[in-house]
């Protein structure tokens, strides 16, 4: 055995799975048809893998999410879904998406970001009555089918430790209380797999790359000491990724695993651990050396040098650093990309080729392949912009410091804007109704002129400004009708970005995103938002918020270049956005929101890395964007999720004047934390959940406002929904916003 992957994308080269599941949800196709399409996609993946690799991967397919798959397989299904009396697949979709039919209504399980990626998993819910045991069939059917058609098969499933660590416990019992049942269930999985001719079982344990406590290690040992006793006629690989296993490496090599999978790319200490503590001859090292997250070609010489430096012989499988789920399918579909750039790209299919090449080079000494690859790296032409480099080298501490201090600015701005108590605003986008999308599509396909396109959007702006004025909002927005995806929109207006046609990556369930590629030095081509914002401002005496996406979010939702540091890339983007901020200010826009929706996403998994690896440059990049504005210009920022509990001081250090964030689904404990940290930025904790079509009543919002004001002084509080409205319909949004204003007015009247 010499080559393998951890997992493959499943959404489909043309997003076939997305289209089929969405049709199934709308009852346009039946379950048999959905299963048939899924089987086709699996078979296609397996054939692709079989052509290039030694092992074919089964079990990595999912109709929605692999964590939910494992939970369903093991009967971790809350009673409220079970009670719906649905078949296996429909029950699974009810957990993933919620269920509403015939008077029955159950909300979906929560979704969370998968480690440091933009993929979201469904959080399993365990209560005291959860009876963990094998009940699902799909996993075994997939393995059986792969074994029928392919000689060497590896099956993968989320491992017991990661499953228990990621689950949410809603009763009294905690993870360790479920260890005996989980051990028995995985032993049962082993027993059932003994009936196939499986070569390897891969247990995915990425949770081992976090900082581990003694209790974590104890749980891990308890689980595997038990599970590995089960007889099995296949080999067992414990697979880790997204980091290194410094807290548990020695335990891993001592336990009776047949294989250990390690990430040599994101795992900064992986190679050192293996060299320092050695690697047992009777185990196989699954060496993750082909990047499962980036889209760039592998530099074979570097990879081969790394592999040669490891104390292993032929007990080695060359593999990816993580599942290929996080990259698009194939570069071949990108017919419009610049040749220079295209030759450096490797998506999932190309990464299979690379594994094949590496096998030829490492095990069979194929020098020609090595030479061909080296030539590719001899001169890489990232489009350079010397003006950008000059600007960066000229930056000093003053460029990162806004003056005067925030407390002084707060007074200046209160005098400037004279807003009422509890000022009201929205997060930026209004519903992207069908006609808005149609207008964009007509323009994109050259069916209407730029003037016609703009006229349509301007009419929309006018209508929504009037609506907000009439509804009684204090700080208005233009509605973002001109934007499809916020990062794509800015990328298209910046030099240095490249765009793909079909490079979709699954974000959650049936949703896929198409991240732009950062290829050259980034700078602003032209003013981006000034026309829409100034037009909106010309229609009203109330302040209209300018609306920008921040540098860290643009970076985190793109495929970054790797020849320069993340810090340098983000600084380039920050300067481009700074130009836009100053341009807006020059044109009379007095409040500017710079969204950092994705700031939390790339926070390193280990706390010891938080600052030096990330926050130490991410926070200054944001400050660079707004440091030069006048004291009277008010800077807002917005973050999705309020999971920044642990980094509150860093968020305050962004030195914005106002921050809005998602809070309506949480228990408002974030507000206690803000208080405890003496948070200075004015805050708009979202008062209702925009992710649901449900309209909150005035009384409900009034209660939320009271809960907030019980903890924070009213001089610091803004009232807003918890995110943009672009994915919602107009009727429900307008009704919700009217209730929001009514609730605020009720509170203001009380305050006098
Ligand atoms: N301003 C953006 C909007 O309202 C923010 C979106 C986001 O946070 N993801 O849509
Ligand atoms: Zn948001």
- Residue 480 and residue 338 share a domain: no
**Interatomic CA distance for residues 489 and 480, integer angstroms:** 10
- The answer to whether the beta carbons of residues 37 and 17 sit under 8 Å apart is yes
19 Cα–ligand 1 center, Å: 25
- Residue 180 and residue 50 share a domain: yes
pLDDT tens figures, 272-324: 999 999 999 999 999 999 999 999 999 999 999 999 999 998 899 999 999 99
Q: Which of 240, 245, 310, 319 is nearest to 281 (CA)?
A: 310
Q: With a cut of 70, say whether residue 666 has pLDDT above it.
A: no
Element (H, E) at 122: strand 120-122
Check residue 555 and give its pLDDT.
97
429 Cα–ligand 1 center, Å: 6
Please state, rounded to an integer, the average pLDDT across all residues of the chain.
Answer: 96
Nearest-ligand number for the alpha carbon of 691: 2
- Residue 447 and residue 323 share a domain: no
Query: 101: pLDDT confidence band, cut at 50, 70 and 90?
Result: confident
382 Cα–ligand 1 center, Å: 31
**Probe residue for ligand 1, chosen from 428, 544, 691 as the CB with the greatest number of ligand atoms within 8 Å:** 428
**Interatomic CA distance for residues 223 and 525, integer angstroms:** 56
Q: Supply the range of the domain harboring residue 107.
A: 16-376
722 Cα–ligand 2 center, Å: 7
Q: With respect to residue 75, please indicate whether it lies within any of the assigned structural domains.
A: yes
Task: Out of 376, 409, 438, pick the residue that ends a domain.
Answer: 376
**Interatomic CA distance for residues 479 and 436, integer angstroms:** 11
Q: Tokens 């920022």: give the residue.
A: 637
**Mean pLDDT for the stretch of residues 701-728:** 95
Q: Which of 717, 585, 575, 737 is nearest to 659 (CA)?
A: 717
Q: With respect to residue 724, please indicate whether it lies within any of the assigned structural domains.
A: yes
- Residue 306 and residue 438 share a domain: no
Residue whose Cα lies nearest atom 6 of ligand 1: it is 724
Q: With respect to residue 417, please indicate whether it lies within any of the assigned structural domains.
A: no
**Probe residue for ligand 1, chosen from 638, 686, 727 as the CB with the greatest number of ligand atoms within 8 Å:** 638
Which ligand 1 atom sits closest to the C-alpha of 429? 4
- Residue 331 and residue 441 share a domain: no
- Residue 165 and residue 266 share a domain: yes
Residue whose Cα lies nearest atom 7 of ligand 1: it is 597
Q: With respect to residue 675, please indicate whether it lies within any of the assigned structural domains.
A: yes
- The answer to whether the beta carbons of residues 72 and 86 sit under 8 Å apart is no
pLDDT tens figures, 46-60: 999 999 999 999 999
DSSP percent split of the chain into helix, strand, coil, nearest 5:
45, 15, 40
671 Cα–ligand 2 center, Å: 17
Q: With respect to residue 185, please indicate whether it lies within any of the assigned structural domains.
A: yes
| Domains: count for the chain | 2
Neighbours of ion ligand 2 (CB under 5 A): 597, 640, 723
pTM score, whole prediction: 0.94
Q: Domain holding 95: CATH number? A: 3.20.20.210
Task: Out of 315, 348, 376, pick the residue that ends a domain.
Answer: 376
632: phi then psi, degrees, rounded to nearest 5? -80, -10
Q: How far is CA 461 from the centre of its chain?
A: 30
Q: Are strands 284-290 and 259-263 parallel, antiparallel or unpaired?
A: parallel
Check residue 1 and give its pLDDT.
64
Q: Is 197 a catalytic residue?
A: no
70: phi then psi, degrees, rounded to nearest 5? -65, -40
Residue whose Cα lies nearest atom 1 of ligand 1: it is 428
- The answer to whether the beta carbons of residues 344 and 308 sit under 8 Å apart is no
Q: With respect to residue 415, please indicate whether it lies within any of the assigned structural domains.
A: no
- Residue 618 and residue 736 share a domain: yes
**Probe residue for ligand 1, chosen from 556, 726, 727, 737 as the CB with the greatest number of ligand atoms within 8 Å:** 726
- Residue 102 and residue 25 share a domain: yes
pLDDT tens figures, 428-450: 999 999 999 999 999 999 999 99
Local structure of 498: helix, strand or coil: strand
- Residue 664 and residue 557 share a domain: yes
Check residue 485 and give its pLDDT.
86
**Mean pLDDT for the stretch of residues 464-487:** 96
**Ligand 1: residues within 6 Å at CB?**
427-429, 480, 486, 547, 595, 597, 638, 640, 723-724, 726
Q: Tokens 């079509």: give the residue.
A: 693
CB hemisphere CA count around 701 (13 angstroms): 29
- Residue 368 and residue 449 share a domain: no
Which ligand 1 atom sits closest to the C-alpha of 593? 1
Q: With respect to residue 317, please indicate whether it lies within any of the assigned structural domains.
A: yes
Percent over 90 (pLDDT), the chain: 93
644 Cα–ligand 2 center, Å: 13
**Probe residue for ligand 1, chosen from 544, 595, 663 as the CB with the greatest number of ligand atoms within 8 Å:** 595
Nearest-ligand number for the alpha carbon of 118: 1
- Residue 339 and residue 266 share a domain: yes
Check residue 692 and give its pLDDT.
78
pLDDT tens figures, 333-384: 999 999 999 999 999 999 999 999 999 999 999 999 999 999 999 989 999 9
Residue whose Cα lies nearest atom 8 of ligand 1: it is 597
- Residue 369 and residue 442 share a domain: no
Local structure of 33: helix, strand or coil: helix
- The answer to whether the beta carbons of residues 261 and 231 sit under 8 Å apart is no
Strand ranges for 601-681 from DSSP E: 634-639, 658-661
Q: How far is CA 525 from the centre of its chain?
A: 28
724 Cα–ligand 1 center, Å: 4
Nearest-ligand number for the alpha carbon of 487: 1
Check residue 145 and give its pLDDT.
97
Q: With respect to residue 5, please indicate whether it lies within any of the assigned structural domains.
A: no
Number of other CB atoms surrounding residue 151 within 10 Å:
11
């Amino acid at each position: 055995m010499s080559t393998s992957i951890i997992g493959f994308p499943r959404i489909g080269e043309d997003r076939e799975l997305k289209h089929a599941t969405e049709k199934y949800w709308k009852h346009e196709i039946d379950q048999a048809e959905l299963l048939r399409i899924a089987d086709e996609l699996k078979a296609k993946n397996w054939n692709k893998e079989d052509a290039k690799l030694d092992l074919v991967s089964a079990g990595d397919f999912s109709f929605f999410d692999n964590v939910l798959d494992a939970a369903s397989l093991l009967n971790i299904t809350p009673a409220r879904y079970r009670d719906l009396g649905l078949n296996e697949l429909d029950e699974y979709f009810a957990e993933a998406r919620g269920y509403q039919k015939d008077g029955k209504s159950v909300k979906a399980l929560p979704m969370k970001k998968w480690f440091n990626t933009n993929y979201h998993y469904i959080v399993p819910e365990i209560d005291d009555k959860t009876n963990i045991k094998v009940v699902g069939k799909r996993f075994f059917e997939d393995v059986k089918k792969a074994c029928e058609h392919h000689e060497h098969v590896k099956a993968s499933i989320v491992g017991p430790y990661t499953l228990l660590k990621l689950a949410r416990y809603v009763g009294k019992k905690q993870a360790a209380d479920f260890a005996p049942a989980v051990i028995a269930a995985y032993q049962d999985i082993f027993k059932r797999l003994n009936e196939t001719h499986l070569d390897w079982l891969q247990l995915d344990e990425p949770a081992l790359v976090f900082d581990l406590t003694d209790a974590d290690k104890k749980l891990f040992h308890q689980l595997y000491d038990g599970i590995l006793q089960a007889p099995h006629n296949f080999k067992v690989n414990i697979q880790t990724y997204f980091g290194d296993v410094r807290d548990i490496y020695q335990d891993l090599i001592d336990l009776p695993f047949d294989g250990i999978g390690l990430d040599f790319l994101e795992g900064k200490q992986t190679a050192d651990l293996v060299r320092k503590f050695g690697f047992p001859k009777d185990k196989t090292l699954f060496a993750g050396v082909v990047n499962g997250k980036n889209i760039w070609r592998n530099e074979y010489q570097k990879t081969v040098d790394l592999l040669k430096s490891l104390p292993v012989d032929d007990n080695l499988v060359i593999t990816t650093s993580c599942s290929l789920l996080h990259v698009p399918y194939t570069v071949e579909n990108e017919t419009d990309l610049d040749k220079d750039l295209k030759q450096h790209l490797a998506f999932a299919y190309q990464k299979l080729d690379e594994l094949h090449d590496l096998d030829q080079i490492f095990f069979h000494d194929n020098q020609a392949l090595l030479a061909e690859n080296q030539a590719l790296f001899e001169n890489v032409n990232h489009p350079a912009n010397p003006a950008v480099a000059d600007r960066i080298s000229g930056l000093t501490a003053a460029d990162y410091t806004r003056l005067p201090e925030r407390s002084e600015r707060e007074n200046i701005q209160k005098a400037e804007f004279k807003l009422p108590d509890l000022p009201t605003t929205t997060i930026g986008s209004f519903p992207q109704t069908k006609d808005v999308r149609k207008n964009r599509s007509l323009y994109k396909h050259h069916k209407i002129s730029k003037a016609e396109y703009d006229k349509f959007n301007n009419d929309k702006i006018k209508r929504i400004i009037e609506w907000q004025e009439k509804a009684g909002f204090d700080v208005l927005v233009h509605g973002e009708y001109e934007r499809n995806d916020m990062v794509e929109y800015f990328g298209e207006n910046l030099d240095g970005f490249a765009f793909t046609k079909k490079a979709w990556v699954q974000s959650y369930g049936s949703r896929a995103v198409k991240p732009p590629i950062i290829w050259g030095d980034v700078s602003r081509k032209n003013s981006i938002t000034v026309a829409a914002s100034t037009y909106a401002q010309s229609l009203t005496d109330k302040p209209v918020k300018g609306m920008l996406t921040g540098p860290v979010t643009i970076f985190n939702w793109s495929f970054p270049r790797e020849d320069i540091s993340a810090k340098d890339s983000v600084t380039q983007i920050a300067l481009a956005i700074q130009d836009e901020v100053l341009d807006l200010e020059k044109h009379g826009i007095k409040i500017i929101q710079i969204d950092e929706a994705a700031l939390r996403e790339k926070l390193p998994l280990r706390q010891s890395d938080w600052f030096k690896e990330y926050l130490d440059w991410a926070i200054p990049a944001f400050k660079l964007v707004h440091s030069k504005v006048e004291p009277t210009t008010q800077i807002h920022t917005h973050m999705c999720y309020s999971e920044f509990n642990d980094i509150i001081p860093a968020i305050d250090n962004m030195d914005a004047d106002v921050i809005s964030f998602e809070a309506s689904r949480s228990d408002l404990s974030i507000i206690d934390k803000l208080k405890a940290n003496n948070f200075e930025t004015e805050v708009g904790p979202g008062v209702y959940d925009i992710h649901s079509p449900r309209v909150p009543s005035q009384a409900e919002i009034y209660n939320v406002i009271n809960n907030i004001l019980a903890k924070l002084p009213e001089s610091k509080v803004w009232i807003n929904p918890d995110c943009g409205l672009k994915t919602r319909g107009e009727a429900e949004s307008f009704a919700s916003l009217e209730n929001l204003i009514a609730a605020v007015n009720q509170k203001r009247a009380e305050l006098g």
